[in-house]
Each structure stands twice: as structure tokens, then as C-alpha cells.
A and B are shown apart, each in its own frame.
Chain A
């Protein structure tokens, strides 16, 4: 195997994977909190640094991955296949993870597996690349992991997103889970999180 290709993922695969997971765990257990995430040494454009780190940390040959049209390029799929062994699928219903290059087409997340009442854990986790996790329209979040309420303002979400998100939250315990990411950090939106738009 070629050392230069192997070296171009995490600097320290074991420890950086662990740190990436801990960032995701913090983000999921404290929704609305922006958490820094380790950067891999390279990432295959247009797959950003945070999404690459999440892929390297969580994905393998047991986790079918769906990529949106912009991410579904040879350089991205080759990179992911080489470093994590992940298999990409074109049918969103078969995906355990879905990666989005931007939030424009996210509104349609009902296309993904939402789990069922017997196995709500079998729902998809969607990871969405945003220009920034701040600077957008503020909304207030509540639910497990949040002491009372917390305000977030991710930029780049489509019109009507939060209304649609609340429909997902209303179908609890089934539903998808979401991770919003910019280049350096993540913000978790598990299905238990409700948004109130002022």
C-alpha cells in the first residue's frame, strides 16, 4: 500500500477518530452547542474537513452511505472507499448515513429511513455541510440535553427548514438525526430537539 495515501487521512487515526467521536457525542448530548472537531490532513473537495473527519471516524463497510449530487464524485467516493471501506448507495432509503454538500435539498429528508417503532435506532443520520454555524436566522431549541432553551443561528438552511424539522421531532421516537457542520465544528440536532421560531 502507498504510504502517502494512507498518511493523508488523520494524523493519528486512533486518537483523532476518538476525538471526532467525542465531539459528535458532545454535540448530540448537548444540542445547540457548537463543538470543534479534529481536521484530517486532507479532505477530497467538495467534501469539507468536518464531514471527512466524521466519515473517517464513524463509517466502514457496514454503514451504507448516500451522497448528494455535488459530493458524488470519483475523488470523494475513491477517498472514502480507500480510507473507510464505505459503500455508497444511490437509494436514500438504504442509507445509514446521508452526506449533504449544502442544505438546499435537505428539506426532503423523508426520503431517508426514519426507523420504525420497533427499531427507531435504525433511522438514518444526516450530516450537512453549511457555510457557517452562526450568522443565520436565530431559533430557540429545547429538549433533552438542553437545560432550558438555547439559541442557535446556523447559516445556509433553506426556508421552511425548522417547520419541517419540528415535524420530524413530532414523530418521536422515530425520526432522523441531524448533524450540522461547517469546516471546523459541528452542531447536533437529535430527533428529540424542538425548535421555536420567534
Chain B
């Protein structure tokens, strides 16, 4: 899809990372405020961003505003580097920046991701950019943007607590498996983007800066390194992540997020790591031993 963007090779210098300089400045200023107010969604205004609306533009805008010649970019979709969307975004940035890309989590300086946080612990020098379809956690409960803003202004998040408690009353547990709301720096209720709740604990005091970009909603929010991030829960029903009885069929990992894969038409299934870079590293490592 991104190959349709009509890139002009002759304008190389002024289209480094594709966005024009004024758009980048606008996004950059929003990012700095987002880092200064962890979990708060900074609107980045009135300027139309010259990218087609749709999947991933929020992440692309953030990456394009941040990336420089010495960066190494990794792009993942649902944990994998080789899906169509991840490949086309990676190719897009290679073309408009000339920078090198990588599939290795450890080698990347910038990781743009959709729906997963890598299993490998991130490091100080890395920036994780998450694509976010809906940055407003209260949007599931109320339609009005003004009303949501008011609730954030007064930190009145009782509505969300009630919503989660209704699950406990009905199912005996909170049934939210993805995009499980978090409280950032004991203040703002935030959406972690549609990552599995398995990944929520990785947000807490992560060493890397994490930036969330929502393209259609034109919002950016961020979690600085070493910031307290708590998943909403209740004293008698503490937050829990998904667990599997199986290990990864390829690398044997017993603590990574697993995807269920259909093996044949008889319904045989296998569980493998959703994070392909992590799984590959482990297999290479075990072959060496």
C-alpha cells in the first residue's frame, strides 16, 4: 500500500523521511510535550499530514519525525518482521531515508510496532514506537471527546473501574485481553494500544522511551523510561497476564507470548512465539550450544 505514495527521488534532500520540515517540527513539539506529561494524549493539530489515512500512519508520522541517518529501524506487526505491512513500512523508510534496517531487536535503535512489545528487554538507547488506532481509553465508554477530556482533567476514572468490575461480576475475571487500560505515572489513564495484556507489565519502568502515535485521531502519548505504569485492577482481583500450558514448539520458550498455529486440515495445532526475532535468536543460540 505504501508503494503507492508516489515518492520523488529528485527531491531526496527535502523529503528525507518523507514528511516536510514543518510537519516534522509540529510532530516533534508534540512528542516533547508528550514525554513531559506521561500518558497524556497531546493533540497535534491543524496541519494535514501528507500520508494516506489508514493503517499505521500514526506510527509512521512519529518514526518519520524522529529518524536520522545513523538509526537502524526494525518494524514488526503482531511480533513478526516478515508480514506484508511490516515489510512495506520498512521498505518505505529505507527508500525515503536510506538508513539501514534490521530484524534483530537488539540491533535496532528505533522499533516501530503494531500489537506487540518485543520479548527481549529493551535498552536505554532504544525508542519503541507503537501504532495506535484509538488512543482514548475512555472512548469505549463515552462518545464525547469533551467529556473524556473532562474526566482526564479531574482524573475521574471510576467509570473504567466499574466497567472492569462488571466483567468480574459476570465472568469471574476481567475479560479484556488486548488494549488493557493502564495508569501512567499515577495520573493519566492511558491506552497501551492493542497489545495483549501479556505485554502490559513490560511498560512498567521500561528502560526505553515508548511513544504512541494515533494517525487518524492525531494524538501522541508517551511513556518515558523508568515510569511507573500500572494496569487497572482491584485488591481482590489483581491484574494477571495470559499464561500457556505449552512451550513454544520451535524454541521451547516457556515465558513468551504464543500464537496458535493450525498445522493441517485435521485441526492439529501448535504453539509458537509471536515474536519471531526472539524465537530465531533462541534457536540460533541453542544450535550453538
Residue from B17, B37, B43 with most neighbouring chain A CB atoms (10 Å): B37
Question: Do the beta carbons of A192 and B25 come within 8 Å of each other?
Answer: no
Cβ-based interface call for A57 (8 A) = yes
Judging by beta carbons under 8 Å apart, are B224 and A145 in contact?
A: yes
Pick the residue among B29, B38, B42 that contacts A58 (CB under 8 A): B29
Contact A28 B35 (CB under 8 A): yes
Within 8 A of B (CB), among A12-35: 13-15, 17-19, 21-22, 24-25, 28-30
A36 close to B (CB within 8 Å): no
A113 contacts B by Cβ under 8 Å: no
Question: What is the CA–CA distance of A57 and B29 in the complex, to the nearest angstrom?
Answer: 10
A71 CA / B124 CA spacing, docked (Å): 36
Residues A121 and B37 in contact, CB atoms below 8 Å apart: yes
Tell me which residues from 31 to 71 in chain B have a Cβ below 8 Å from any Cβ of chain A. Answer: 31-38, 40, 42-43, 65-69
**Which residues 1-51 of B have a CB within 8 angstroms of A?**
13-14, 16-17, 21-22, 24-26, 28-38, 40, 42-43
Question: CB distance B31 to A147 under 8 Å?
Answer: no
* Given A19-B68, A125-B32, A190-B36, A144:B187 Cβ within 8 A: no
Q: In the complex, which range does the number of interface residues on chain B fall in? A: 35 or more
Q: Shortest distance in angstroms between A152's beta carbon and chain B's nearest beta carbon?
A: 16
- Chain A residues with Cβ under 8 A from B228's Cβ? 144
Please, which residues of chain A bring their CB within 8 A of the CB of B237?
none
Q: Determine how close the nearest CB of chain B comes to the CB of A7; give it in whole angstroms.
A: 14
When A14-B16, A145-B226 are in contact, do A117 and B154 touch as well, CB less than 8 Å? yes
What bracket does the count of chain A residues touching chain B fall in? Answer: 35 or more
* Total residue contacts A-B, CB cutoff 8 A: 103
Chain A residue with Cβ nearest B32: A28
What is the minimal beta-carbon distance from A162 to any residue of chain B, in angstroms? 18
Which residues of the other chain, B, contact A145 by a CB distance below 8 angstroms? Answer: 35, 224-227
A25 touches B37 (CB 8 A): no
The docked-state distance in angstroms from the alpha carbon of A24 to that of B28 is: 10
CB of B243 within 8 A of chain A?
no
Taking a contact as CB atoms under 8 Å apart, the answer to whether A29 and B14 are in contact is: no
Complex CA–CA separation, A123 to B153 (angstroms) = 15
Q: Is the CB of B29 within 8 A of A25?
A: no
A50-74 vs B: 1/0 string, CB under 8 Å?
A: 0000000111101100000000000
Rounded to whole angstroms, the CA-CA distance of A121 and B28 in the bound complex is: 13
How far is B24's CA from A84's CA once the two chains are assembled, in angstroms? 14
User: Which residues of A sit under 8 angstroms from B94, Cβ to Cβ?
Assistant: none
List residues of chain A with CB within 8 A of the CB of B66: 18, 21-22, 25
Q: CB-nearest residue of chain A relative to B185?
A: A144
Q: How many angstroms from the CA of A52 to the CA of B16 in the assembled complex? A: 22
In the assembled complex, which residues on chain A have CB atoms less than 8 Å from the CB atom of B29? 58, 63
- A120 within 8 A of partner (CB): yes
Cβ of A182 under 8 Å from chain B:
no
Residues in B with CB closer than 8 Å to A118 are 149-150, 153
Interchain CB contact (< 8 A) of A120 among B14, B25, B40, B225: B40
Q: Is A82 an interface residue (CB 8 A)?
A: no
Residue B111 interfacial (CB < 8 Å): no
Residue B209 CB within 8 A of the other chain: yes
What are the residues of chain A within 8 A of B124 when measuring CB–CB?
A: 30
| A12 closest partner in B (C-beta) | B13
Interface bits B160-178 vs A (CB < 8 Å: 1, else 0): 0000000000000000000
Report whether A172 and B187 are in contact in the complex, using a CB–CB cutoff of 8 Å: yes
Separation of A17 and B67 alpha carbons in the complex (Å): 11
- The CA-CA distance from A123 to B38 in the complex, in Å, is 15
- Smallest beta-carbon distance B141→chain A, Å: 19
Q: Which residues of B contact A25 (CB under 8 A)?
A: 28, 31-32, 35, 66, 209
Contact between A17 and B37, CB atoms less than 8 A apart = no
Least Cβ–Cβ distance between A159 and chain B, in angstroms: 26
For residues 119 through 162 of chain A, which have their beta carbon under 8 Å from a beta carbon of chain B? 120-121, 123, 125, 144-147
User: Which residue in chain A gives the minimum CB-CB distance to B38?
Assistant: A144
Docked complex Cα distance between A119 and B109 (Å) = 31
Nearest residue in B to A31 (C-beta to C-beta)?
B224
Minimal beta-carbon separation of B37 from chain A (angstroms): 5
A173 within 8 A of B: yes
B36 touches A57 (CB 8 A): no
Closest to B70 in A: A19
Q: Residue of B at shortest CB range from A189? A: B36
